[in-house]
Structure 1
Amino acid sequence: MKIFSIFINILCLKYCVSITNQNNEQMVVDVVKSYEKPTSVVARVCWESTTVKRKLAKMLANLERPISVRYLRKNETIQQSYPNNHLLFLLDINCENVEFFLKQADANKLFSKSYRWLILGNSINDNGSIATEFENLSISVDSEVIITQEKERNYILLHTIYKLRPHNKWNMEYYGTWAPDYGLNKSDDRIHSNVHRRKDFKGEPVFTSIVAEDNRTKTDLFGLRNIFIDSLSKSSFPSVVSLYDFLNASKVIIFAETWGYPINGSWSGMVGDIKHGKVDLCGTVTLMTLERLRIVEYLTMPTNAISVKFVFRQPPLSYQNNLFILPFTSNVWMCLGVFVFILVAILYINTKWDRKKYEIYNDQKMDQTCLPPNWSDITLFVLSAISQQGSSNELKGTLGRFVMFIVFLAFVFLYTSYSANIVVLLQSTSNQIRTLADLLNSKLELGMEDVAYNRYYFSLQDAYTFKDPIKKAIVEREIASKGKPNFMKIEDGVKAMQQRPFAFNMNTGIGYRIVSALFQEHEKCGLQEISFIPSTKPWLCSQKYSPFSEVFKVGYLRIQEHGLSDRENRLIYAKKPVCSVMGGSFGSVNMVDFYPVCLLLLYGMILAFVLLGVEILVQRWQKRGSNQSAIQLNIIV
């Protein structure tokens, strides 16, 4: 009897285990189907029968979206990396060393965003508490961990669990129920994302770091009496406050002196607070750099009105070009040169003919006002015609006078066209400064807004600046050429940009507000921008791999969709002014405008003295030669 009883119990146990395994198989398949997206399964289960494992693999492979499954061996670790897309970890909590397995998964951040878990077995105690195996795991708001609670008649409850902070209590969400009769009955709330369901932080503090270069900002973050001081923080902080309201979180603010830069292997400022885990969120927008990408996660760009660029008015055309060669194109200049040579040749032939005709038909000497047939006099005559000057010599014959009329008439038209173009060009501006190389080679003075990020980027401490030869040359030759970098307040920089050819690196959102207030309408035309910093658009950011990053991102996007960020930005920032009036006034001619003419006059005067010296030497040489000839003649006589 005892042997028979033991045999019956063994059969019952095997039957119950078989029923349980069958239920687990079908429940796993139903849960995977409920995701409605591709899924690959990595399983660590304690099923001794390979038939059951094969059956589960076959059931998953026969779904509408075929799914692969990989079984981990009994003592196999989980240290290797896994792709974090479309992956579901299947774990039986009744297996041996399950606590060690969970700690390994936690160390490899496998409970973070995009990974999904399904824990088989009874993970909820009778008193409603979560099993102790999960106690020290980092299952946060971005996790997707489903645990099961077995009820009578193979009825199973499914819940998802998470914690806001490691020291908080567990939050448990109802996922659905499963029974052999009707399968998985999924909760209606699961149609929403984790962010939508878990955005209530229930008063949990969220730590935020805000840059405050001026101490007055710490007590007046909402004040707009002086928007030029810590404007980036004052525009960002209202969005941060709205995010706290969206999350129902407590506000904890930490102030930093700078945005944060790598100094001797460590980070300072706001980024340093993020890296060291002091805060969860950046409360001031910051520029995106390659070094920061390893530390922070950029969430959203709150406005397009902010950028950091060199802004300058288009300089006069004479700052980039010689105005006196611009009226005509190169082809026209070449044609004019050929035309002058042809005129000289024609005039030479004409003067020869006049001289010969005069000697044949007149017995007297030739008139002194006649143009002599030599190249120098003819060239001077043509040059006088080009410059609209008279000449003491002229051609006497009818043909010669007709040629003179044509010459002077042609150069009158050329002179009129040339001088009219010069007048226009004197009032024109240059649009040739479009790159940093153009800015470096221009005659513009450079200046920078006195803020922390400009002091960092306009120094050779920044690796990007140091490696770029153009930026390095700008720093060495333009920024620090006088020993002291040209940093100034944004108001002074905008005024300098209005009064003289000056390029000012500034926050364009604030700078354009000052431009709109100070510049006249015609002065707002021709404003150009050139970027020195790699990424000029600032972003709000959080900790790298923070479990709250997705919640923060969605919150910021909701705030922007409702127009709250746009309202705050409109109070502080301004867009680039629209050019509505062109040529409102005429500026005086500067020394730069007629510098080429002065240079030509100087070279001409030098050449004149050189030719005078040559003539004196030639005259003395000829006089000496004539004296020697006279002496030799006297000796012979």
Structure 2
Amino acid sequence: MDIWKLGAIIWLFKSHVEGRAGIGKFLTSFVDNERKPTTVVFHGICWNNSVKLHVMKELSKAGIRSSQSMSKRTSLIDHTVLLLADLNCTGTDELIINASCIAQATQRELHRLPYRWLVLSDAPRSGRSSLWDPFLVDSELVLATVDGAGYTMTEVYKPSPTSPAILTPRGTFQHVLTDTRPHRELFRRRRDLMGVPLTITNTIQESNSSIYHLLQEDSLELEHDLISKNSYTLAKVAFLTLNATPVATFTNSFGYLQNGQWTGVIKELLEYNADIGTNVGMSQSRLKQVMFLDPLDNGRARFIFRQPALSVTANIFSLPFSPDVWIATGLSSFVAGVAYYLSTRLIKTRAEKGTVRDAYLLTMSALSQQGCEVQPRHVSARIVLWVVFTSMMALYAAYGANIVVLLQAPSTSVNSLATLAKSKLALGAADVNYNHFLFRASSDPVRNDIAKRVNSDKGPKAFYGLTEGVEKIRKGLFAFHSVVEPVYRQIDRTFQEKEKCDLMELDYIGYAAFHVPGSKKSPYLELLRVTFKRLREVGIKSAVNFRFEARRPSCKESIAMFSSVGITEMRPVLIFMAYGVALSVAVTAAELLVFHANRYRLRQRRVAVQLGRI
């Protein structure tokens, strides 16, 4: 009798082992059907070691890695993890719900992508079971229920924490796995959120009326809070595409770290009061707190200014010719002076006795297009003088034509932050919250110099309203930092056409573009990320951006425009004339000194002669 009981126990145990060992073929087929690198982790498994060893051997033969526990891994390979659990084991329900910290992960991270779950069960589970509460739309859980000699697979997730779980067929396994999913892409299977509210927090810091116009989407007062209006419009389109209910909240800051606490948009996302926020700039500190998605608005903050006239940054009277031409002109003048002197000295007559002084005085008169009292009478000297005046006349015509062009031309010397910091341009910024945080002390010496000129600790601070800042740009020698679209819109209204031709912008912040920040606690970020890309691909993003953004004003009258010449343009000439006057006074004084010295010497000589006679 005892032998019969022992045989029955052995037979039951053997059947149990073989039944559990059959899971190896199912796991192998399931992983192969995933078509992605996979490491099977036994999580919530109460099988004995012989069964585990048999299953691991089956997986190993198929080239699939497996582990009894998940060691600490980097986030680069977390997407390979497939957590295997068995609901027939005691305590597995609580283990799944609590998601004990494997590999230093938090409770929420284990239930979300990139982790995947395969849960085994001998009996179906209800969609209202609390077991599925953590598995939202960004999770990937498959419930495999025993069905005879095979399994029936069901995909389980919840659109929101308060809604019942949705169970959709995944396929069956009867020696061969059959996948019944309509689409393999997670986005295409879960893009219907069934009215779940999605929230965007919008930054309003320029005008309180922006809240009304933003919600109405009436494209009015676009000079205020343009980035928020554009971002909200596109975010609302994305929410409706996912069949979600758009919800808008508001804050007065893009989000900065103050006294160890985050403010504005970043704070709202950290506290999960919103899923995404208005476009903000990327920084290392923000990347640690939120996840950045695609940029919705193309807005950018820049220094905008009119390039200063060339006469302000350079001596335009030396620019018409290159240094080689100036050297050649000087050598030619020297050779012409020598030729004239030789032509007057080789033929000696009483009527004409040339000197070196007369030769070069005449050459300099020709170079400056002036007359001279020295008039040659010999034919050879006159020919030399004619050649000199003719050559200098052609040179003077080319010089004068270039000067006219250069007087109208803007410079290109201010083309970087370093040249802006050293330039004579006054600096200012729009009087909004982000600029007050932006222009603070910086470790970069160039940016630090610019910040001190805008946000001075000793003198008045250079923060202006949009209208005043644009007017200062129009008057020239002023650089204004702001979001460029409202500035260009105001420039179109107030600038003359010729004043739009020398506009320049420089990036102070260093952001390539502003991006949408998302809360790391939100389960909808992956759906929104794909939706934003689709809006860009089909052209909706471009169409909405075109409604809100102002393009850089085009220059239509750059050819036939002339400006008056003032003291600034003539400054090098006036300085040259001042040097000439000073030199002439010095020469006159020297001549008088030499004249009186010679006169005194002659007088002394006469006195000596008279005394010698006596």
TM-score between both structures, scaled by the size of structure 1: 0.86
Show CA shifts across 1:65-95 (max 9, x none): x3222233xxxx7666562132222233445
- Equivalence for 1:361: none
Partners of 1:107 and 1:155 in 2: CA distance = 34
**Closer, same or farther in 2 for the Cα pair 1:289/1:472, shift >3 Å?**
same
User: What secondary structure, in the 3-state scheme, does the structure 2 residue paired with 1:103 have?
Assistant: coil
**Closer, same or farther in 2 for the Cα pair 1:21/1:606, shift >3 Å?**
same
State the AA in 1 paired with 2:29.
D
Partners of 1:237 and 1:477 in 2: CA distance = 35
- Equivalence for 1:363: none
Show CA shifts across 1:301-355 (max 9, x none): 2244x2222233343322332111111111111111111222222233333334x
State the AA in 2 paired with 1:27.
F
Percent identity between the aligned chains?
29
State the AA in 1 paired with 2:113.
K
User: What secondary structure, in the 3-state scheme, does the structure 2 residue paired with 1:588 have?
Assistant: coil
TM-score between both structures, scaled by the size of structure 2: 0.89
Q: Is the 8 Å Cα contact of residues 446 and 479 (structure 1) preserved in structure 2? A: no
- Equivalence for 1:285: 279
Is 1:577 equivalent to 2:538 in the alignment? no
Partners of 1:298 and 1:485 in 2: CA distance = 33
Alignment of 1:77-96 (within 5 A): 83-95=77-89
Q: CA-atom RMSD, angstroms?
A: 2.8
**Closer, same or farther in 2 for the Cα pair 1:625/1:481, shift >3 Å?**
farther
- Equivalence for 1:24: 23
Give the stretch that moved more between structures: 223-232 or 485-494.
485-494
User: What secondary structure, in the 3-state scheme, does the structure 1 residue paired with 2:248 have?
Assistant: strand
User: What secondary structure, in the 3-state scheme, does the structure 1 residue paired with 2:250 have?
Assistant: strand
Query: CA offset at residue 598 of structure 1?
Result: 0.6
Partners of 2:122 and 2:470 in 1: CA distance = 70
- Equivalence for 2:236: 241
User: What secondary structure, in the 3-state scheme, does the structure 2 residue paired with 1:300 have?
Assistant: coil
- Equivalence for 1:400: 381
- Equivalence for 1:103: 100
Is 1:629 equivalent to 2:605 in the alignment? yes
Query: CA offset at residue 599 of structure 1?
Result: 0.7
Partners of 2:465 and 2:440 in 1: CA distance = 18
Aligned residues: 602
Partners of 2:591 and 2:116 in 1: CA distance = 100
Q: Is the 8 Å Cα contact of residues 429 and 464 (structure 2) preserved in structure 1? A: yes
State the AA in 1 paired with 2:393.
V
Is 1:347 equivalent to 2:344 in the alignment? no
- Equivalence for 1:485: 461
- Equivalence for 2:423: 442
**Closer, same or farther in 2 for the Cα pair 1:128/1:613, shift >3 Å?**
closer
Give the stretch that moved more between structures: 5-14 or 418-427.
5-14
Is 1:143 equivalent to 2:136 in the alignment? no
1:198 to 186, 190, 199: 190
Consecutive unaligned residues in structure 1, runs of 5 or more? 359-365, 461-465
State the AA in 2 paired with 1:143.
S
Is 1:533 equivalent to 2:514 in the alignment? no
Give the stretch that moved more between structures: 97-106 or 506-515.
97-106
State the AA in 2 paired with 1:266.
Q
Is 1:297 equivalent to 2:291 in the alignment? yes
Partners of 1:56 and 1:423 in 2: CA distance = 89
Query: CA offset at residue 135 of structure 1?
Result: 6.4
- Equivalence for 2:35: 36
Partners of 1:371 and 1:140 in 2: CA distance = 109
Partners of 1:332 and 1:560 in 2: CA distance = 55
Partners of 1:604 and 1:481 in 2: CA distance = 44
Partners of 2:101 and 2:112 in 1: CA distance = 13
Is 1:384 equivalent to 2:352 in the alignment? no
Q: Is the 8 Å Cα contact of residues 231 and 279 (structure 2) preserved in structure 1? A: yes
Q: Is the 8 Å Cα contact of residues 344 and 378 (structure 2) preserved in structure 1? A: no
Q: Is the 8 Å Cα contact of residues 223 and 489 (structure 2) preserved in structure 1? A: no
Query: CA offset at residue 482 of structure 1?
Result: 8.3
State the AA in 1 paired with 2:219.
L
Partners of 2:353 and 2:166 in 1: CA distance = 110
Query: CA offset at residue 602 of structure 1?
Result: 1.0
Q: Is the 8 Å Cα contact of residues 170 and 180 (structure 2) preserved in structure 1? A: yes
**Closer, same or farther in 2 for the Cα pair 1:168/1:20, shift >3 Å?**
same
- Equivalence for 1:117: 117
State the AA in 1 paired with 2:303.
F
State the AA in 2 paired with 1:430.
S
State the AA in 2 paired with 1:249.
A
Alignment of 1:180-259 (within 5 A): 182-189=175-182, 191-213=183-205, 214-221=207-214, 222-259=217-254
1:310 to 300, 303, 317: 303
**Closer, same or farther in 2 for the Cα pair 1:595/1:441, shift >3 Å?**
same
Q: Is the 8 Å Cα contact of residues 296 and 516 (structure 2) preserved in structure 1? A: yes
Query: CA offset at residue 164 of structure 1?
Result: 4.5
Partners of 2:433 and 2:486 in 1: CA distance = 16
Alignment of 1:428-467 (within 5 A): 428-460=409-441, 466-467=442-443
State the AA in 1 paired with 2:110.
L
Partners of 1:539 and 1:141 in 2: CA distance = 23
Query: CA offset at residue 371 of structure 1?
Result: 6.3
Q: Is the 8 Å Cα contact of residues 510 and 572 (structure 1) preserved in structure 2? A: no
Q: Is the 8 Å Cα contact of residues 272 and 522 (structure 2) preserved in structure 1? A: no
- Equivalence for 1:11: 10
Q: Is the 8 Å Cα contact of residues 319 and 442 (structure 1) preserved in structure 2? A: no
Give the stretch that moved more between structures: 310-319 or 480-489.
480-489
Partners of 2:112 and 2:74 in 1: CA distance = 13
State the AA in 1 paired with 2:574.
C
- Equivalence for 1:500: 476
Consecutive unaligned residues in structure 2, runs of 5 or more? none
1:177 to 160, 163, 172: 172
Show CA shifts across 1:97-155 (max 9, x none): 64458322462623321221212344755x6654x6x467x43321112223334x244
Query: CA offset at residue 406 of structure 1?
Result: 1.3
**Closer, same or farther in 2 for the Cα pair 1:277/1:157, shift >3 Å?**
same
User: What secondary structure, in the 3-state scheme, does the structure 1 residue paired with 2:424 have?
Assistant: coil
Show CA shifts across 1:551-583 (max 9, x none): 121232334445444333222212223444432
State the AA in 2 paired with 1:325.
S
Q: Is the 8 Å Cα contact of residues 200 and 248 (structure 1) preserved in structure 2? A: yes
Partners of 1:476 and 1:200 in 2: CA distance = 52
